[in-house]
Structure 1
Amino acid sequence: MLSPSTHYKEKASSYELTVRIIQAQNIHGTDLVTKPDCYVCLWLPTALTDKKRTKTIWNNANPVWEETFHFTIHSLVQNVLEVSLHDEDIGTADDHLYTVSYDLGNVPLNEPVLETFTLNKEFEEELQVEFDVVSISETRKNVTTNGVLVCPEMLALEVAVAKHRKEPFKMKTELVLTVKGSYETERRISLNSNSILERSSHEKVVFHFPRDFGTEMTACLNRVYSPFDVTFSNEAENDGINQTTVPLSLLSPMENDISIQLPAVEVKPLEVKIKIKECPEELDVRLGFDLCDKEKIFLQKRQRVVAEALKNILHLDKNLVGEEIPVIAVMATGGGARAMSSLYSHLSSLQEMGLLDCISYIAGASGSTWTMSKLYEDPKWSQRELSESINQAKEHVTKKKMSTFSMNRLKYYRKELQQAAKDGQKTSFTDLWGLMIESMFYKGKNESRLSEQRAALENGQNPLPLYLAMNVKSDKTSTLDFKEWCEFTPYEVGLLKYGASIRTEDFGSEFYMGRLMKKHPEPRICYLQGLWGNVFSLNLVDTWYLTTQLDTFWDNWVKDRVNDIDKEDIMQRRETAHLKTRLFTPAGTVNKMLKGLLTNRPIDGEQQNFLRGLHLHKDYHQQAQFTTWKDSNLDILPNNLTPLADNLCLVDAGYFINASFPPLLREERKVDIILSFDYTLDTPLLSVEQTCTYCTTQGICFPRVSLSDEERKTHKECYVFKDEDNPNAPIVLHFPLVNDTFQKFKEPGVPRSPEEMPDGDVDVTGVWSPYFLTNFTYSEQEFDRLMKLTRYNLLNNKELIIDTLHAAVQRRKARNHCNGKYKTQKKSQFIKKS
């Protein structure tokens, strides 16, 4: 059960939309010899119907259709109609000429609007369409929303068939029931040759669908033929002709059944009973941008641990209390086995300095998540010496990995993937990679789950782990154009910009309209490790961007062209519309092939989309939380966003920025200091610079990262980035993976002897470094040197860290003093007025 404070109710109505496709002019098409054969398609995904299309006007550059289409739309939802023009071809795929994306908020109630869309100014190509929206007489309904997502009321349709018939069907027949826009979509009930229902149809068939969206049920009787039935080709044409449609919007929740007679070709009509029922209002998807209640409770407990640790390390006279306690976080980048090993060393060093208990959050991406997920199997890991954990990691990193690809292991992988598929997982190469990680870095099968890590947080005894992934499009769209942060904690999995989260144990289960519809077992942690650290699901565009940091090739040569075609009169009369009218001109045939090649992710994985059935609020892009976390050029195109996607496509966050800053930058977490551990080999400052650029663009508080050319040439062990003018921006202490003074000192202030100088030779820069990304096996010497280097770099900057802690405490006290003074002034003013 979710707290009601996470969402609220708004009144909403339904409208009837009429779209009249009138004509087009001067259409050139793609054929060089003949005139185009044009037709128009309409797609309004929020109306829960398939695409509709006009007839084809053959060999005509000025086609006239005069066809009318009807939709039911919801007043609180962002309704964007896509009107596309096509040139039909015989024998080959039809040519997609243009698509107009039109915000129906442009159409006032009861005032028809005639639009003439300019498709090509040079050739004066135009499309003329008329829109009309009228109210449907009904009572306004309450709808659940968080300002970005809308969850309409859900109803359940029960369908039952009479169990006995006196007159049997002559052939095997099935009843096909379809409710478009429902969770189930289609159900089939088989009838045997004696017209006695099979056991599967004794139970009632149920459909779950949104109220007030113009939903319809269609029912028809189809014969079931065997592949060897010689009469199939002759008689199949008669199936499905007698189709019955029932508008569910005309029915209200009722106690009694309604009988419907379905016509049958050979026998008397089949009697079907239907009933509409209310569904519970409680949601299983938490709609809200605040932290979940369990995290708030954890922070209260963790504050006591942090306050005691800060008192000791800073030699304070008394404990800090409440808002005086700064929030300190660790941010770890990816980097395969290199990141996994180095994070062990850094956490052990923090423990050695007495600083680990000062940490409230640990955020990781890619390889660093492998360390975190292993440590949190022990509920008291931060209270124990981490030397044993490092020894275990060393054992796995230094062992040979050939057994990972042995025949026995391959059989094990196959068996596990088959079981995962039975459990409801959408298995893919990502899951296979997770099993390989388990084989390389664990002894035997690891049965742990992410939700079980709550035991390590029960008393605030450890920092809260935050695991970061990125939701992208599986094909046709590059990561440059679309990416959304997805956050995993032991409590919740959430898509940040939508303010939508589910319980961690429900990840991988099926959701619809905010409700848990089909529960699947929570995936084992190895499958999440493969998802968080999948170094193989890059497409070619991602690879190009990561190696060159240039996106001009994609922008100039491959992307579809998108233009704003609003005219001045539209801008002046627009009242409720927020989105501009946009014209999409698809790329040519060669560019389409190139685009498919560049954006295809052949070895990525898909996950259940827990936003399925939810809609975007008509004012979604005006919400501060959504625009703050705007990650995509497609955010202005609601039909392309995740609520309308069939599945999530979650990949390694390093494909955009190899860092895990985003979860720590949520305003609700109030992070004061970030210890940034960067495990990148060749570009040790790139992740923090990219984060700064990203945050500046999105309006997120982050300190300015400005480096001179000289600073870029010679890398330091630690960089301090802070914004003196913005106390809400965290102080970032950035620790790149560099070998500077460690070459001459084996401990802080302890020089190396001539015999010890070779131990300081740790290659973390060149292309021949033993720590390259796809190397998962180090020698013992290589592992030990990496551990000593990262430990030294942190210990050598202990005083800098402590000074930063002092600064954060003083900043917190100053902020609280100002807030307290402001509250006192407001109280005095109130008393004076009274």
Structure 2
Amino acid sequence: MSYVMMDQGLPSSCYKEEASNYELSVRIIQAQNIHGTDIVTKPDCYVCLWLPTSLQEKKKTKTLWNCKNPVWNETFNFRIHSQIKNILELSLHDADTGTEDDHLYTVCYDLGNVTLDNPVLETFPFNKESGEELQVEFTMLPISEPKKTVTTNGVLVCPEMAALEVQIEKAKVEKCKDKTELVLTVKGSYEDSHRTMFIPNITTGSSSKETFEFHYSRDSAAELTASLNKVYPVVDVTFSNEDDHLNLTTVPLNVISPDTETNVQLPAMENKPLEMQLKLNECPEKLDVRLGFNLCDQEKAFLVKRQKVVAAALKKVLQLQNDLVGEEIPVVAVMATGGGARAMSSLYSHLCGLQKMGLLDCVTYMAGASGSTWTMSKLYGDPDWSQKEMSESINDAKKYITKKKTSTFSVERLKYYRQELHQTSKEGQKPSFTDLWGLMLESMFDNGRNESKLSDQKAALENGQNPLPIYLAINVKHGNISTLDFKEWCEFTPYEVGLTKYGASIRTEDFGSEFYMGRLMKRHPEPRICYLQGLWGNVFSLNLVDTWYLTTQLDTFWEHWMKHRIKDIDNEDIRRRREEAHTKTHLFTPSSTFSSILTGLLTNRPIDGEQQNFLRGFHLHKDYHQHSQFRTWKDTHLDIFPNKLTPLADNLCLVDAGYFINASFPPLLKPERKVDIILSFDYTLDTPLQALEQTCTYCEAQGICFPKVSLSEEERKKQKECYVFVDDDNPTAPIVLHFPLVNDTFRKYKEPGVLRAQEEMSEGNIDVTSFFSPYLLTNFTYSESDFDRLMKFTQYNLQNSSNLILDAMRTAVEKRKNRNLLNKMYQNKTQTKS
């Protein structure tokens, strides 16, 4: 592998690699002992080939009718990119007349198993018992052309982009008799297609030139297809019949030389050819998507400023003799779970408690999921919120929590929602229930229309005066794939929106805009904060599988459901040839019709939304699965199928992170953030330790540093107000102080160390466990007394554990100092040797 110097315009954590293109030939030879689905007749077999890294469209063999041992001996050619993970999908089908064809099997084969100039003959066993199999031959040949460079971060690859300019001169075409539409198509390009109309009996002038542009990967086997279609008027509706082509022309784009004009003639009306001029233009090399797993420059600059605030606060609360400097300053983070209005209210209270204890300025990060993000997004509308008395914010929240919500569903508000969603549609977004839910939240918990946006919150970080907020969501599949089978962490900050697993981020201002191959192609207005609140805290887009997992913590039934569908079919010969980076050959057996229907019912999210996919146009690096950062955050079987991962998806489907784990730990566990202490505020009612235990299990499986959560039966029965978890064997794991909603000593004490009088005992009787609790997830309106008691209760629990928090901070400072001392000794030793 050869590397070249990185351009200065590229982020520091991505680099350039040299790449070659190869010619791949795939010969579908034969299949044997295919039984099909018909009981009476033999199967009518054909094979489909799909290689999305080369062509968007599938290729297909001819159908061999009534034959259980079909022999095709057909060859298909593909253009292969050397630095991209190329997975060829071969699917066997049984053709049916009058009904949908039956999908029998699909084989996913890593083309990294094929070496240059060395034909490989593979036999893929579908069913060893019945002897069903498919025989295919692969041949890879080099293409004699100069090597090119690609931009990569080791997980994602961005090949060179090409911009095809197509110019048409309508004036040179004689008047047509029929209304005719010209359709220009480049499959897999950003634009996909352009259309223009030729109108009969209309004289065109000299200014009738039209220019169209297509953006696509220069290394792909893209083709320009130009077709003229007759257009028929029906009543007042005009449509074109795609099958009624007057003429059709296809031009392979890899034969067009850059900076030279190519003329193409399309036979047109009255035997007068339509002339098209094709030209390749240069595309800007600088990407608008940041590729890299490191922190962005803005966050790094914020940390320098915040360190000064944290150092001063720690010196005061810990009564230190000397100032903390540099690496001696520990990173403290707040982690807040979801829980609807309960989480929203309780986070206000906990932040107020930290402020009263002088600890709020010790916090560097604050991560939230679901309902807690409603509090965060409201607070950060004020650039100096943490420097003011939190009691003002609590009084403001109380006003909205206790007011009736009937006006949210009034006719006037419904009209307003409709107008707003119509406007978002005009701005290029795709309105959904998630957007409607965000508007409802704005009506319930805000004072009128809130024009602020997430990027506006940068003002609250300008001088390091507040902790950095991180809002968490997960990207899931919109179709019949459960959250257990596919989820990807997506974090939002005022600086960036990023998908952790891929090391790809965009500016927060650009969220919702259209990207292709890392370039910003079409800018849309940044969504107002209410739409993001609806996305982060959409308590209604839960599917049945999510519900099962969250209520039972058992996902074995779903694993069993999936196991019979996907299996490794590599034989010993393939295993010997396959390098570590090559993906195993997998056989996918489609479910029965009944199973497919049931799966759809279990996984369907009828009221979620879709967002623009800023990874569109990227590909997975040939060694992506071996990248340490990718491996850390991959956690589903779909991660081994690059054709099913997000770069190939049309849209993102972002939902409430609580549908997997109702916590916001992941952003705080990125090693680049170096978090030492996590104050974990858990706002669930009936399962106060579940999210913590799920996080521990998740981190253990992923190799992420997190303390072990091990509780005895006695500890589970007698729940505490605060749990402290420390991993003495792993000094890089953060100290976690977990605060569940547990009403223990508050029943007897109104303040730490101050017993209640007999007449005050009722104030301590707060129901946070039963089905009749006033703080249930579906309740968005509290009485004033219920709100006030929740504030007192949560602040008491925090203050009653102040000694545990201070002890953890002292431990973190000591660890930091020792680590800093060891680093200095090591540096001095190294310099002495030099």
Alignment of 1:302-313 (within 5 A): 302-313=306-317
The 1:634–1:517 alpha-carbon spacing in structure 2 relative to 1, beyond 3 Å, is same
State yes or no: 1:141 paired with 2:148.
yes
Superposed displacement of residue 425, structure 1: 1.4
Q: Classify the secondary structure of the residue corresponding to 2:245.
A: coil
The 1:196–1:338 alpha-carbon spacing in structure 2 relative to 1, beyond 3 Å, is farther
State yes or no: 1:676 paired with 2:680.
yes
Q: 2:531 is matched by which residue type in structure 1?
A: Y
Q: Is the 8 A contact 2:174 2:269 kept in 1?
A: no
- Aligned equivalents of 1:598 and 1:689: distance in 2? 25
Name whichever of 505-514 and 236-245 sits farther off.
236-245
Q: Is the 8 A contact 1:2 1:286 kept in 2?
A: no
State yes or no: 1:125 paired with 2:132.
yes
| Equivalent of 2:212 in 175, 187, 205 | 205
Q: Is the 8 A contact 2:230 2:246 kept in 1?
A: no
| Equivalent of 1:554 in 554, 558, 572 | 558
Q: Is the 8 A contact 1:608 1:647 kept in 2?
A: yes
- Aligned equivalents of 1:96 and 1:22: distance in 2? 19
Superposed displacement of residue 194, structure 1: 3.9
Counterpart in the other structure of 1:284: 288
Counterpart in the other structure of 2:411: 407
The 1:199–1:291 alpha-carbon spacing in structure 2 relative to 1, beyond 3 Å, is farther
The 1:526–1:282 alpha-carbon spacing in structure 2 relative to 1, beyond 3 Å, is same
State yes or no: 1:505 paired with 2:512.
no
Superposed displacement of residue 816, structure 1: 0.8
Superposed displacement of residue 223, structure 1: 1.7
| Equivalent of 1:101 in 108, 112, 134 | 108
- TM-score norm. by structure 2 comes to 0.97
State yes or no: 1:807 paired with 2:814.
no
- Aligned equivalents of 1:275 and 1:412: distance in 2? 48
Name whichever of 636-645 and 550-559 sits farther off.
550-559
Q: Could you report, residue by residue, the CA deviation over 1:699-719 in whole angstroms, capped at 9, with x for unpaired residues?
A: 000001110000001110100
Q: 2:36 is matched by which residue type in structure 1?
A: G
Number of equivalences? 827
State yes or no: 1:541 paired with 2:545.
yes
| Equivalent of 1:457 in 456, 461, 479 | 461
Superposed displacement of residue 230, structure 1: 14
| Equivalent of 1:423 in 424, 427, 441 | 427
Q: Is the 8 A contact 1:165 1:195 kept in 2?
A: no
Superposed displacement of residue 674, structure 1: 0.3
The 1:783–1:201 alpha-carbon spacing in structure 2 relative to 1, beyond 3 Å, is farther
Counterpart in the other structure of 2:663: 659
- Aligned equivalents of 2:374 and 2:180: distance in 1? 54
Q: Classify the secondary structure of the residue corresponding to 2:250.
A: strand
The 1:151–1:198 alpha-carbon spacing in structure 2 relative to 1, beyond 3 Å, is farther
| Equivalent of 2:228 in 218, 221, 229 | 221
Superposed displacement of residue 725, structure 1: 1.5
Counterpart in the other structure of 2:327: 323
Counterpart in the other structure of 1:696: 700
Q: Classify the secondary structure of the residue corresponding to 1:467.
A: strand
Counterpart in the other structure of 2:5: none
Alignment of 1:6-21 (within 5 A): 6-21=13-28
- Aligned equivalents of 1:174 and 1:231: distance in 2? 11
Superposed displacement of residue 776, structure 1: 0.3
Counterpart in the other structure of 1:614: 618
State yes or no: 1:381 paired with 2:385.
yes
Counterpart in the other structure of 1:187: 194
State yes or no: 1:83 paired with 2:90.
yes
Q: Is the 8 A contact 2:171 2:209 kept in 1?
A: no
State yes or no: 1:436 paired with 2:440.
yes
Q: Classify the secondary structure of the residue corresponding to 2:714.
A: helix
| Equivalent of 1:394 in 395, 398, 415 | 398
Q: 1:401 is matched by which residue type in structure 2?
A: K
The 1:344–1:293 alpha-carbon spacing in structure 2 relative to 1, beyond 3 Å, is same
| Equivalent of 1:605 in 599, 603, 609 | 609
Q: Could you report, residue by residue, the CA deviation over 1:564-598 in whole angstroms, capped at 9, with x for unpaired residues?
A: 11011111122486100010111111111111111
| Equivalent of 2:71 in 61, 64, 69 | 64
Superposed displacement of residue 58, structure 1: 1.0
Counterpart in the other structure of 1:161: 168
- Aligned equivalents of 2:147 and 2:237: distance in 1? 55
Q: For structure 1, which runs of at least 5 residues remain unmatched after alignment?
A: none
- Aligned equivalents of 1:578 and 1:482: distance in 2? 21
Q: Is the 8 A contact 2:173 2:269 kept in 1?
A: no
- Aligned equivalents of 1:11 and 1:815: distance in 2? 40
Counterpart in the other structure of 1:731: 735
- Aligned equivalents of 1:162 and 1:195: distance in 2? 15
Q: Classify the secondary structure of the residue corresponding to 2:177.
A: coil
Q: Is the 8 A contact 1:156 1:207 kept in 2?
A: yes
Name whichever of 821-830 and 365-374 sits farther off.
821-830
Q: Is the 8 A contact 1:100 1:584 kept in 2?
A: yes
Q: 1:141 is matched by which residue type in structure 2?
A: K
| Equivalent of 2:747 in 732, 743, 746 | 743
Counterpart in the other structure of 2:256: 251
Superposed displacement of residue 165, structure 1: 2.2
The 1:588–1:675 alpha-carbon spacing in structure 2 relative to 1, beyond 3 Å, is same
Counterpart in the other structure of 1:589: 593
- Aligned equivalents of 1:781 and 1:446: distance in 2? 28
- Aligned equivalents of 2:833 and 2:437: distance in 1? 64
Superposed displacement of residue 659, structure 1: 0.3
- Aligned equivalents of 2:246 and 2:87: distance in 1? 33
Counterpart in the other structure of 1:42: 49
Superposed displacement of residue 212, structure 1: 1.6
Q: Is the 8 A contact 1:169 1:193 kept in 2?
A: yes
Q: Is the 8 A contact 2:173 2:272 kept in 1?
A: no
Q: Classify the secondary structure of the residue corresponding to 1:69.
A: strand
Q: Could you report, residue by residue, the CA deviation over 1:680-726 in whole angstroms, capped at 9, with x for unpaired residues?
A: 10111111111110000000000011100000011101000011111
Counterpart in the other structure of 2:568: 564
The 1:35–1:802 alpha-carbon spacing in structure 2 relative to 1, beyond 3 Å, is same
Q: Classify the secondary structure of the residue corresponding to 2:17.
A: strand
Q: Classify the secondary structure of the residue corresponding to 1:289.
A: coil
- Aligned equivalents of 1:48 and 1:398: distance in 2? 57
The 1:817–1:197 alpha-carbon spacing in structure 2 relative to 1, beyond 3 Å, is farther
Superposed displacement of residue 240, structure 1: 2.4
The 1:247–1:184 alpha-carbon spacing in structure 2 relative to 1, beyond 3 Å, is same
- Aligned equivalents of 2:114 and 2:611: distance in 1? 37
Superposed displacement of residue 748, structure 1: 0.5
Counterpart in the other structure of 1:29: 36
Superposed displacement of residue 266, structure 1: 2.6
The 1:198–1:109 alpha-carbon spacing in structure 2 relative to 1, beyond 3 Å, is farther
Question: Once the two structures are aligned, what percentage of the paired residues are identical?
Answer: 72
- Aligned equivalents of 1:198 and 1:667: distance in 2? 64
Superposed displacement of residue 169, structure 1: 1.7
Counterpart in the other structure of 2:714: 710
- Aligned equivalents of 1:49 and 1:269: distance in 2? 29
Q: 1:640 is matched by which residue type in structure 2?
A: K
Superposed displacement of residue 383, structure 1: 0.4
- Aligned equivalents of 1:703 and 1:803: distance in 2? 17
The 1:407–1:230 alpha-carbon spacing in structure 2 relative to 1, beyond 3 Å, is closer
- The Cα RMSD (Å) is 1.8
Q: Is the 8 A contact 2:176 2:269 kept in 1?
A: no
- Aligned equivalents of 1:167 and 1:710: distance in 2? 90
Q: For structure 2, which runs of at least 5 residues remain unmatched after alignment?
A: 1-7
